Structure 1
């Protein structure tokens, strides 16, 4: 037998390398042809899990100045200041059984339906703030039947222009005269105010207003008597406003005893309950006279502002009234406590012997007298000698 010839080892290695290189070249050539036949479509790849992918850099990211530290987290919200103004009972009309030449309706006719007449003396104050709120007491309607009561007040729907002309932006209807002409009268009052751009609220109707970018909730409550049920309804509305994202919650309450200068125990309990429930401010009306105020948990409770543009009496015995202002500072959802407040002494009339239905700012000795009267009432509340 013949022995099989053998190749030297280096030659074998060389031949193997040549064969491998030729096979690789053939494979690449075939792959390129396949890609060309498919139009050059990219190959889809399964993405890596999100946790392993690098985060995309933010677009147009602001860079700190040389030497400055990198910002951490979101920028802190900027503080916003806003001023709210509150006035008392606005009865725009009269009782039809007491219509005479000195009534509110007669004054409207005498002024040739000049809506600006009535709030002319305070319009500058109302116009300089961010939100003005009053108590709209009575119905603006030409429908409905008069309620069977001693006093039932009604004015024409166009009387709503008095509020808009005087820079009033909102009005509570939670009081004992808003339904003097039934549901029709109540609905017509809302429609009349809406037509003039005046936001109405009260009972289960909470008004939400955007004031300089701050969400403000206005809650209107009526207390025909001091009761836990009335208080619970009020605090439920405060909670609802907070749940809707309100940054400021204000409660306007109709409460207390008419013509009494001192508050009741029920007023104080309800007012404090409102603050405990999350209200930032409580203001009140109904007694037709000024009552005092207190600072509770860093929040103000102003118990009665008295009458204001009041068509319910041609010559009230006590014409003193108040405008209350508070400037709030809001940073995000935080509202500073005990912010700047202003109690402005006023009279419901420009005359002392009759009602001109044109409230005015008090000056000189009259202002000093009303200021002292208010402070004495506040001192009695602080001393616990009122309720």
Structure 2
């Protein structure tokens, strides 16, 4: 069964405007730091790209520059900016990643996932290149359309979250403080950590997460396109409810992956389009509890690995890697969403690195994981991100600060090229309702510490 393609296909911005942007003395021409001077680059067409300051992401919250500050550190100018040592030319980005007191002055073609570009006059050089105040002509491939995607942690619409919606009659309540921002992205993806049916026996007592399908009203308002189902709670009411949940979600227009009436259906990628890009998403569950899908039996995709489902199973890992290879041809951007790791810990288990690296090597463009209820680090492997844990998103846990703190991950693509990954801090408040935080605020910095530390 092929999941239904999302009803929403949004083109977010574009970079054509950068070619004619920003004349006058602040627009630099000729070779610039980071633009590259190799023979291969010299054969490319000349384009105008933003000239950016970039720093290690742990230093970026609250940082901003003015056009005058950026002009002051152009070649031949100052060698420091706001206490950072400014490095130019090839190797500048690597220097900034290695030394958190260094800033790279580069054109946007040199920016890579894991480095943070600083806004200038309030304009982000990656998401709004056409409005950016300083550009340079470089020999580079012209970038494609700018497409942003947002990825959230667990969306649990049952238990006390569901009771709050039923009590108020507001089925959009869990997304009341985040919907506008989520829906503004080109693509929005989250893990549905509950069933939409209670047609069977509750298998986890009070920890059985079953939601009223009317709660999907808020999911719609928040602009979700894809819901991953490969988790340990989709089986909380048995196989009939599991299949019914997938059918309800698809019937409402969401693409799903990770669960289905059999293993073939569960392994099918969810597909959605944004900005002319085809996104494909796969999901799997490494922590058990939900039934494993079989050739003729419903369930979720399993991958056995520590700390819960045993030692890492090479056959399971190869099966997921094969799904990545098979889906590669149907997607411009392919992301795997694992449900893995140890609960209530900022530290990934060792096999998260093994599995994540294997999936990147198989062809995944990113691995964006969850389940642990706490945030975990973002790793860059072979230039591609592995998010080890986003924490919760919509959830009713309140027994510690960490379970009420999370990140939403933003990916920024220029065409098929991933230019940035960002972690947006979130606080989950009363009733399990999340809100975005200022990354430069005290709690925002606390949440981001384990992510980029």
TM-score > 0.5 by shorter chain = yes
What's the secondary structure of 1:303's corresponding residue?
strand
Contact 2:317 2:355 in 1 (8 A): yes
Alignment of 1:323-334 (within 5 A): 323-330=408-415
Closer/same/farther in 2, CA of residues 142 and 372 from structure 1, 3 Å limit: closer
Distance 1:90 1:347 in 2: 14
5+ residue gaps, structure 2, are 1-140, 259-265, 288-303, 306-311
CA separation in 1, counterparts of 2:425 and 2:175? 15
CA–CA separation in structure 2 for the residues paired with 1:305 and 1:130: 20
Instruction: Tell me the alpha carbon deviations over residues 203-231 of structure 1, each in whole angstroms, 9 at most, x when there is no partner.
Output: 41311222222221111121124222332
Alignment length, in residue pairs? 282
Does the C-alpha gap of structure 1 residues 369 and 314 become closer, same or farther in structure 2, counting only changes over 3 Å? closer
Change (3 A) 1:188 1:198: same
Residue in structure 2 matched with residue 196 of structure 1 by the alignment:
252
- Separation in 2, partners of 1:190, 1:297: 34
CA contact (8 A) 2:346 2:450 kept: no
Tell me the SS of whatever aligns to 1:115: coil
3-state SS, counterpart of residue 337 of structure 2? strand
**Number of the residue aligned with 1:138:** 194
| d(CA) in 2 for partners of 1:131, 1:270 | 25
Structure-2 residue corresponding to 1:286: 371
Residue 220 of structure 1 corresponds to which residue in structure 2?
283
- 1:347 corresponds to: 427
Match of 2:356 in 1: 271
Contact 1:262/1:377, CA 8 A, preserved across alignment: no
Structure 1 residue corresponding to 2:150, chosen from 60, 65, 85: 85
CA contact (8 A) 1:161 1:196 kept: no
SS for the counterpart of 2:153 is strand
Q: Give a deviation string over 1:249-276, Cα, whole Å, max 9, x none.
A: 0111100000011011111111111111
Q: Is residue 106 of structure 1 aligned with residue 186 of structure 2?
A: no
Counterparts of 1:284 and 1:213, CA distance in 2: 25
Q: 1:89 to 1:211 in 2, by over 3 A?
A: same
Q: Secondary structure at the match of 2:207?
A: coil
Long gaps (5+) in structure 1: 1-75, 95-102, 350-354, 380-387
Matches of residues 48-127 of structure 1 in structure 2 within 5 Å?
Answer: 79-94=144-159, 103-112=160-169, 114-127=170-183
TM-score of the superposed pair, with normalisation by structure 2: 0.59
Deviation at 1:336, TM superposition (A): 2.2
Distance (Å, rounded) in 1 between the aligned partners of 2:220 and 2:275: 19
Change (3 A) 1:185 1:291: same
Superposed counterparts of 1:1-387, under 5 Å: 79-94=144-159, 103-112=160-169, 114-147=170-203, 151-202=207-258, 203-224=266-287, 225-226=304-305, 227=312, 228-243=314-329, 245-311=330-396, 313=397, 315-318=399-402, 319-330=404-415, 335-337=416-418, 339-349=419-429, 355-363=430-438, 367-379=441-453
2:182 and 2:210 map into 1 onto residues whose CA distance is 25
Q: Distance in 2 between matches of 1:173 and 1:110?
A: 27
Q: Within 2, Cα distance between the matches of 1:364 and 1:262?
A: 21
Determine the C-alpha separation between the residues in 1 that align with 2:143 and 2:384. 22
CA distance in 2, matches of 1:362, 1:78: 31
SS in 2 for 1:275: helix
In the alignment, the residues of structure 1 paired with residue 167 and residue 202 of structure 2 have an alpha-carbon distance, to the nearest angstrom, of 25
Distance 1:362 1:190 in 2: 32
- Other structure's SS at 2:369 match: strand
**SS at 1:341's partner residue?**
strand
Q: Is the 8 A contact 2:375 2:450 kept in 1?
A: no
TM-score where L is the length of structure 1: 0.68
**For each residue in 1:82-137, what CA deviation from the matched residue of structure 2 results, as whole angstroms up to 9, or x when unmatched?**
1110010111102xxxxxxxx2232112221x222211211121121111001101
Shift of 1:314: 5.6
Q: Please report the RMSD computed on the Cα atoms of aligned residues, expressed in angstroms.
A: 2.1
Asked which structure has the greater CA Rg, the reply is 1
- Give the structure 1 partner of residue 33 of structure 2: none
